[in-house]
Amino acid sequence: MSSRRGFLQNVLAGAGFFTSAKILSAQDMQMSGDMPGTNRKGKKGSIQDHGSPVLVETPDVPNLPFRMDGDVKEFHLIAEPVKQEIVPGRIVDLWGYNGSAPGPTIQVTRGDRVRIIVDNHLPEATSMHWHGFEIPVEMDGAPGSSQEPIPPGGRFVYEFTLSQEGTYFYHSHMAMQEMIGMIGAFVMHPKETYKPRVDKDFVIILQEYAILPNITVPNSMNMEFNWLTFNGKSGPANTPLIVRQGERVRIRLINLGMDHHPIHLHGHQFVVTGTEGGRQPESTWGPGNTVLVGVAQSRDVEFVANNPGDWMLHCHLPHHMMNQMSSMVGPMSRRNGMPAGLDMERGMGMLRQGSATSQENGPSLGRGLGVGSTAEQTMSNSPLKAGNPMQRQDMPDMPQQGMRMGKPEVSKDANSVPGFPQDAFMEGPMMAMDKMVEKPENFGLRPGWSGFMAGMMTFVRVLPQDKYDHIMELRKKQEGNKPMKMDMPGMGNKHE
């Protein structure tokens, strides 16, 4: 599987530069199409029943390049601060690897000897843990017990032979660092493809952050999250999973956060074929359409994409299907600013007076998003002011960029209905940003689609051959238009 890929790496490394991760992932895609065992309709000589597995695609996340050093596959990970654009215009400060949070995806084959050079470019110590790997303890990355933490500016070289298969991952073993982005997928392919073989294989990493409005740094102490991401993007910024009608699809879901996520697929039943411990025996495969991916777990699901359409794939926790969720979202859009100058205790949602269930504290206790905690009781769900509710009262001429910002459709007596507004200002036509998230994979979606996608939410687009080919063509064209940048990995070049 890796000979061509390894050859390419050697050529590039020999020429004295690394490809940018993005460019490499394009090459991988191309190669996965040429691999034996790949189902290419209409091409002669394709081997459909055996051969190497297809490479995984991690939408919006690059693959990690490697070079061969004798028989050893050598990877290089750099732990570093990352600027990550989770939706258009919302750039947040995370920590990740090689310019990406989550970090780039590593793919190996069972039996491989691998070396992973880990450099720490963070301002504090870190460690690298290989989650679920059966390797010697001194390679486990447990700080303090199996090794010294890697100091700022330091390096640790891991090397081991892998005799497992499945959806694994790597992550910092410093707990707070886990909550600011530091994880990546580590897929161990079998030597021979599983049966029934899949035509498409995807990885999605589930993460969550608590980031107050107008702040760019996640509060990793927080217990309630307002930004929920698939592969570092919130809906509608995710790149949809593109599959051809009739193909067998695997989606590998990985969760490292504070919540468990029930991931639901529309329009299809799937079977769970693997966990963080590897492949499950076929006798355990029962049908479902929602799989609970617990913290520190992975789940592989497989299905035959026989139902054409643009099908939602999302976490089904209602609060995980929203963006920038905050108690203040209603009042902020209709009133004159928000209270400022909260002290630390209240900012963190700590109880200062009265009981937990008192009228003042009850509704907001433990929500911990700070500004909303104190103001919610009197501010939320209050009557709308006259005029355009999406316009700042103090800056009526403020230009509205990007989103459409039209008036949401609400009934005339909306203000008299208890509970209003619920979704009128969270999703809908006025939140649409189709143009801002335009990309080949979104081509042909229903106009206005993006107004209803948020949080952990993307599409599995099951396309007939002609539409599938068209998107692949657009994708190729886009890749071709990109200038060949030869940046060093880890220079934060992901968002240029």
Binding site for Cu ion (CB under 5 A): 261, 315, 317, 320
- Report the nearest approach of Cu ion to the CB of residue 79 (Å): 26
- Report the nearest approach of Cu ion to the CB of residue 257 (Å): 8
- 261 or 404, CB closer to Cu ion? 261
- 162 or 315, CB closer to Cu ion? 315
- Report the nearest approach of Cu ion to the CB of residue 209 (Å): 13
CA atoms within 13 A on the CB side of 432: 14
- Report the nearest approach of Cu ion to the CB of residue 456 (Å): 5
- From the list 330, 432, 342, 325, the residue with the least C-alpha distance to 378 is 330
Task: Return the biggest CA–CA distance within the chain.
Answer: 75
- 288 or 309, CB closer to Cu ion? 288
- 187 or 206, CB closer to Cu ion? 206
> No. of H helices and E strands in the chain?
7, 21
- Report the nearest approach of Cu ion to the CB of residue 103 (Å): 21
Residue 408 burial by CB count (10 A; 0-12/13-18/19+): exposed, middle or buried?
buried
- 98 or 458, CB closer to Cu ion? 458
Q: Tell me the DSSP string of 84-118.
A: EEEETTEEEEEEEETTBSSEEEEEEETT-EEEEEE
- 162 or 251, CB closer to Cu ion? 251
The enclosing H or E element of 474 equals helix 465-481
- 32 or 229, CB closer to Cu ion? 229
Q: How far apart are the first and last CA of the chain?
A: 32
Q: Are 192 and 49 in contact (CB under 8 A)?
A: no
Please state, in angstroms and rounded to a whole number, the distance separating the CA atoms of residues 180 and 261.
18
The enclosing H or E element of 68 equals strand 67-69
Side chain identity, residue 396: P
CA atoms within 13 A on the CB side of 50: 2
- 317 or 436, CB closer to Cu ion? 317
- Report the nearest approach of Cu ion to the CB of residue 315 (Å): 3
Q: Would you state the structure tokens that stand for residue 380, as one six-digit string?
A: 């939320």
- Report the nearest approach of Cu ion to the CB of residue 263 (Å): 8
- Report the nearest approach of Cu ion to the CB of residue 317 (Å): 4
- 156 or 227, CB closer to Cu ion? 227
- Report the nearest approach of Cu ion to the CB of residue 168 (Å): 21
Q: Are 377 and 364 in contact (CB under 8 A)?
A: yes
- Report the nearest approach of Cu ion to the CB of residue 301 (Å): 16
Q: Would you state the structure tokens that stand for residue 101, as one six-digit string?
A: 């949070």
Task: Provide the 3-class DSSP secondary structure of residue 49.
Answer: coil
Please state, in angstroms and rounded to a whole number, the distance separating the CA atoms of residues 294 and 322.
20
β-sheet bridge partners, residue 243: 462
Please state, in angstroms and rounded to a whole number, the distance separating the CA atoms of residues 104 and 28.
13
- 97 or 227, CB closer to Cu ion? 227
Q: Are 460 and 305 in contact (CB under 8 A)?
A: yes
